[in-house]
Amino acid sequence: MKVLTIIGARPQFIKASVVSKAILDQPGISEVIVHTGQHFDANMSDIFFEQLSIPKPHVQLDIHGGSHGQMTGRMLMEIEGVMLNERPDRVMVYGDTNSTLAGALAAAKLNIPVAHIEAGLRSFNMRMPEEVNRILTDQVSDILFCPTEVAVDNLKQEGFANKPVQMLNVGDVMQDSAMFFAQRAAQPMGKVHAEGFILTTLHRAENTDDPVRLTSIVKALNEINRSIAPVVLPLHPRTRGVVERLGLQLDVQVIDPVGYLEMIWLLQRCGLVLTDSGGVQKEAFFFGKACVTMRDQTEWVELINCGANVLVGAETDLIIDAANRNHGRSVTDPHNLYGGGQASSKIASYLSSPSVSVG
């Protein structure tokens, strides 16, 4: 069984770090890794391959920038060429980026079966590019590796139970990564607060591409930094660009994007996570920290339902108020919401022998 895996963005490297290892350990299955180049800065790509010992991509494309359509279209063309060359038995894609959709679509058009890791997640907001990517990817996949029961239910609502596909709740591969690398946390370079700081990430298009929302969030971060606790913000390059273009003043501790081991160090020591990231909402939970999410919806609704995470949108006062109420609050996981760190081994064993029961 030869699996061709498409990755291209930071969260996909972190997920691949555990899944590719599990595949290497599994007899009877080999993996060809294709990096699309969607994320290409050293601190958004290379650092993860080095730190997390991800196998070096067999094929390195160099596709980034341009509009969503341009990027996805170029990827579709080039990935198709790679697939014709490699002739894999199966293609595997992660999550919801343009690389995910281009990989899935290229495979579907060549009649190569597609496995989707993180299938079934929905925000129910079709204005998010990620929502479009994940819905279309699920539609052309025949193995849907879901991270949660909610994701399985979403697919059932969309009629997937009547299709000739496999829906399996294997748990969340990001919990595997968090558990695997927790002991190897590394202190970021430079001066960082000892503990109790508010770890913030900010890069979702709905916030960065809307000057009103971004301005309101920046105002909140500055006030939180002044009156509640220091805000540490590893700033995504896209957000940095927009902040500079709009001339916004960030009076918080802005640092360059950090590696995953540094991110774990920050997660272990912070007093609160304040984010618009998908993955970071769960990582707060894995490390026992409350989370305030600066979005209007989340795909990880079980965290809202159990009170670990609160959704506040982009309004200054709501963000400040939620940060105030949640700073220093710890959370627990009595219901093992994300499978307990077994997802990647379940995925690898299912891919090598689909008759094995894993869901």
Output the six-digit token pair for 353. Answer: 């022998």
| Residue among 45, 123, 201, 342 that touches ligand UDP (CB under 6 A) | 201
| Residue among 8, 234, 313, 341 that touches ligand UDP (CB under 6 A) | 234
Find the part of the chain contacting ligand UDP (CB under 6 A) among 26-34, 118-126, 274-282, 346-354. Answer: 274-282
265 is a contact residue toward ligand UDP (CB under 6 A): no
Find the part of the chain contacting ligand UDP (CB under 6 A) among 9-17, 119-127, 218-226, 340-348. Answer: 9-17
Percent composition of the chain: helix, strand, coil (DSSP 3-state, to 5) = 45, 15, 40
Q: ∠ CA(91), CA(54), CA(71), 5° rounding?
A: 55
313 is a contact residue toward ligand UDP (CB under 6 A): no
Cα(127)–Cα(296) distance, integer angstroms: 12
Cα(70)–Cα(75) distance, integer angstroms: 9
| Catalytic (active site) residue 193 | no
Question: Of residues 35, 64, 203, 327, which has the active-site annotation?
Answer: 203
36 is a contact residue toward ligand UDP (CB under 6 A): no
* Buried b / exposed e along 160-194 (16+ C-beta atoms within 10 A): beeeebbbbbbbbbbbbbbeebeeebeebeeebbe
260 is a contact residue toward ligand UDP (CB under 6 A): yes
In the complex, the smallest distance separating the C-beta of residue 197 from ligand UDP, rounded to whole angstroms, is 14
277 is a contact residue toward ligand UDP (CB under 6 A): yes
Question: Which positions from 280 through 309 interact with ligand UDP, judged by CB under 6 A?
Answer: 280, 283
- Whether 309 contacts 138, CB under 8 Å: no
In the complex, the smallest distance separating the C-beta of residue 225 from ligand UDP, rounded to whole angstroms, is 18
11 is a contact residue toward ligand UDP (CB under 6 A): yes
Q: Under DSSP, is residue 153 helix (H, G, I), strand (E, B) or coil?
A: helix
216 is a contact residue toward ligand UDP (CB under 6 A): no
Q: Give the distance, in angstroms, between the CA of residue 337 and the centroid of all CA atoms in the same chain.
A: 17
Q: Under DSSP, is residue 299 helix (H, G, I), strand (E, B) or coil?
A: coil
253 is a contact residue toward ligand UDP (CB under 6 A): no
In the complex, the smallest distance separating the C-beta of residue 47 from ligand UDP, rounded to whole angstroms, is 8
10 is a contact residue toward ligand UDP (CB under 6 A): yes
- Whether 313 contacts 212, CB under 8 Å: no
257 is a contact residue toward ligand UDP (CB under 6 A): yes
206 is a contact residue toward ligand UDP (CB under 6 A): no
Q: Give the distance, in angstroms, between the CA of residue 143 and the centroid of all CA atoms in the same chain.
A: 19
258 is a contact residue toward ligand UDP (CB under 6 A): yes
In the complex, the smallest distance separating the C-beta of residue 174 from ligand UDP, rounded to whole angstroms, is 6
- Whether 154 contacts 305, CB under 8 Å: no
- Give the helix ranges, DSSP H, for the chain: 10-25, 46-51, 68-86, 98-109, 129-139, 149-157, 173-181, 205-208, 211-227, 237-246, 260-269, 279-286, 301-305, 316-326, 343-352
12 is a contact residue toward ligand UDP (CB under 6 A): no
Catalytic residues: 203
Residues that bind ligand UDP (CB under 6 A): 10-11, 14, 201, 203, 234, 257-260, 263, 277-280, 283
